[in-house]
């Protein structure tokens, strides 16, 4: 059974007050909150077996190495990768994207084409622009429509034998739109292009199966799925990871080093130079255990109920406009109040204990499409409640009265 009140007891921060009001945390698309079970894993690491990994023969190092590699196996199982060495531990989604972009700089030629979508986060735009500057490749963009969905007919027209790479997010962080990545991947492969999916916003809500998707690369961050900041993962098909050169040089990623020549370590260590975020990786595994114990089917069902309820209640407010109305959508609502700047609304909501995010959400091209400076974004997680949504609606109404 899914019992939200029981689940909420796992999150210490949900018990606190902000500005004298009970905290209502609706900024989950920026980062989720952390349950006590994951906090305990962090404390346990630093309290009992803090040591560097893969190098030491002493007990603490062996224990830390075992825990870290167990976390990699948990990630492999969760995403259904074929092998654990296809999981590269990173500092987060942005790191994973840049690792792939850097690698493809040596594989692209002038005139090659790469495709991104109009719904991308800046971290899935800027690295590809930098790649095009270095390689002479051409960047093309899948357009969006007024519902905040991709125009798939235009995507089909963009694809050609010149297309080498396609990069799209699984779910839009700004609008909550769920992109048809199965279709995107299939059509890209039909012209021989590789595909990277930015799963940062999807992984808190769904359980991607990278083999079923047949995706070439998939990236995610732990802090969006109840884990710590500063750690994430890149999944890559083995054949692609072997083609890409190392992203960084240093310890751990080498087989042998002489002043004449260096040979690189096998996967995954080829891409994991230096001391990793050991505690973060272990805690990432603990977060995956926690969410799987609840069940992603249950999480998705409950969050969709919250989305439907919040959408209906917010639309009762005169002058409120929601951006991103695709039928395929997750628990994110971006909205504005007519004639009022989103920053001003967000500031007043904070005074009432409600945490939302305002601005362009690192997705400025989306805001430019709608000709707005930004939005107020309320993003829900499985530990949020209808009562909290009611509190949001009341607070938005108060802010509207105060700022009109």
Question: φ, ψ for residue 56 (rounded to 5)?
Answer: -90, 150
User: What sign does the dihedral 201-202-203-209 (CA atoms) show?
Assistant: negative
**In 142-253, which residue ranges form alpha helices assigned H by DSSP?**
152-158, 181-190, 210-213, 238-243
- Please give the distance of CA 342 from its chain centroid, rounded to a whole number: 24
| Half-sphere exposure of residue 121: CA atoms within 13 angstroms, side-chain side | 21
Q: Please name the residues in contact with 359: beta carbons below 8 A apart, sequence gap of 6 or more.
A: 342, 343, 374, 375
Question: φ, ψ for residue 86 (rounded to 5)?
Answer: -85, 0
Region of 223 on the Ramachandran plot (φ > 0 left; ψ -120 to 50 alpha; else beta): alpha
Q: Could you please report the per-residue DSSP string of 367-399?
A: HHHHT-S-EEEEE--TT--HHHHHHHHHHHHHH
Strand order in the sheet with 357-359: 320-323, 332-337, 375-379, 357-359
Active site (annotated) includes residue 362:
yes
**Contact, 346 vs 356, CB < 8 A?**
yes
Cα separation, 87 vs 305, in Å, equals: 33
**Contact, 343 vs 374, CB < 8 A?**
yes
For residue 201, give the nearest of 7, 338, 374, 331 by alpha carbon: 331
Q: Could you please report the per-residue DSSP string of 320-368?
A: EEEE---SSB-SEEEEEETTS-HHHHHHHHHHTTEE-EEE-TT-HHHHH
What Cα–Cα distance (Å) separates residue 94 from each residue in 86, 90, 277, 327, 354? 18, 9, 15, 28, 28
Give the angle 394-204-48 at the CA atoms, nearest 5°. 110
Catalytic residue selected from 132, 203, 279, 362: 362
Catalytic residues: 362
């Amino acid at each position: 059974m899914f019992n939200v009140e029981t689940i909420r007891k796992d999150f210490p921060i949900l018990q606190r007050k902000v500005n004298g009001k009970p905290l209502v945390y609706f900024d989950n698309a920026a980062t989720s909150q952390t349950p006590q079970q994951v906090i305990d894993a962090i404390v346990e690491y630093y309290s009992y077996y803090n040591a560097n990994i893969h190098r030491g023969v002493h007990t603490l190092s062996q224990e830390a190495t075992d825990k870290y590699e167990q976390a990699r196996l948990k990630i492999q199982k969760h995403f259904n990768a074929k092998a654990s060495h296809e999981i590269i531990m990173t500092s987060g989604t942005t790191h994973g994207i840049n690792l792939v972009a850097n690698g493809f700089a040596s594989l692209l030629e002038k005139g090659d084409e790469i495709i991104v979508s109009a719904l991308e986060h800046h971290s899935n735009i800027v690295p590809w622009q930098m790649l095009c500057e270095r390689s002479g490749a051409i960047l093309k963009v899948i357009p969006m429509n007024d519902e905040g969905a991709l125009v798939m007919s235009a995507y089909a027209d963009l694809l050609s034998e010149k297309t080498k790479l396609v990069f799209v997010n699984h779910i839009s962080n700004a609008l909550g739109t769920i992109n048809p990545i199965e279709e995107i991947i299939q059509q890209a492969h039909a012209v021989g292009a590789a595909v990277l999916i930015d799963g940062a916003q999807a992984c808190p809500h769904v359980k991607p199966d990278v083999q079923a998707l047949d995706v070439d690369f998939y990236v995610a961050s732990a802090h969006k799925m109840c884990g710590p900041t500063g750690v994430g993962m890149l999944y890559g098909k083995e054949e692609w990871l072997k083609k890409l050169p190392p992203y960084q040089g240093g310890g751990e990623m080498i087989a042998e080093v002489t002043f004449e020549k260096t040979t690189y370590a096998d996967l995954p260590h080829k891409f994991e130079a230096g001391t990793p975020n050991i505690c973060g990786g272990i805690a990432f595994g603990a977060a995956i255990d926690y969410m799987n114990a609840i069940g992603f089917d249950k999480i998705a069902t409950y969050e969709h109920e919250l989305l439907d309820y919040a959408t209906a209640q917010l639309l009762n407010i005169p002058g409120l406009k929601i951006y991103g109305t695709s039928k395929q959508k997750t628990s994110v609502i971006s909205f504005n109040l007519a004639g009022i700047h989103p920053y001003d609304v967000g500031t007043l909501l904070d005074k009432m204990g409600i945490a939302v995010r305002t601005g362009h959400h690192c997705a400025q091209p989306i805001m430019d499409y709608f000709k707005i400076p930004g939005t107020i974004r309320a993003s829900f997680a499985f530990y949020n409640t209808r009562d909290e949504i009611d509190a949001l609606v009341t607070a938005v109404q108060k802010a509207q009265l105060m700022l009109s």
